Structure 1
Amino acid sequence: MSLKTVGTIAIPNAEGSEFDHGAFDAKSRRVFIAHTARDRVEVIDHDASRHLATLPGFPGVAGAVADDGQILITNRGSASIALLDAGTLETRATYKTGGRPNGAVIVARLGLGIAACIGVDGETPTLQLYGLSDRRHVSINLPGRPRWCVTDAAAERIFLCIREPSMVLVARLPDLGEVTQWMVPSSGAHGLDIDHSRGRLYVACDDATLVEMSSTSGEVTNVWPIGGPPDVTFFNPATGLVHVAIGEPGLVDSIDPRNGHTTRTVTGAGAHTTALVAPDRLYVISPAHGGILVLSDT
Structure 2
Amino acid sequence: MTGVIAFIGLGHMGGPMAANLAAAGHRVLGFDLVPHARAAASAAGVEIADSAATAAAGADVVITMLPAGRHVLALYRDEGLLAAARPGTLFIDCSTIDVADARTAHELAVAAGHRALDAPVSGGVVGAEAATLTFMAGGGEAEFARAEPLLAATGKKAVHCGGAGAGQAAKICNNMILGISMIAVSEAFVLGESLGLSHQALYDVASTASGQCWALTTNCPVPGPVPASPANREYRPGFAAPLMAKDLGLAANALRAGGIDAGLGLRAADMYAAFAEASGAAQDFSGIVHVLRDAAARAPKGTTP
- What range describes the TM-score normalised by the shorter chain of this pair? under 0.3
Q: Name the structure where helix makes up a greater proportion of residues.
A: 2
TM-score with structure 1 length normalisation?
0.27
Larger Rg: 2
TM-score with structure 2 length normalisation?
0.27
Q: Name the structure where strand makes up a greater proportion of residues.
A: 1
Higher RCO, 1 vs 2 (CA within 8 Å, ≥6 residues apart): 1
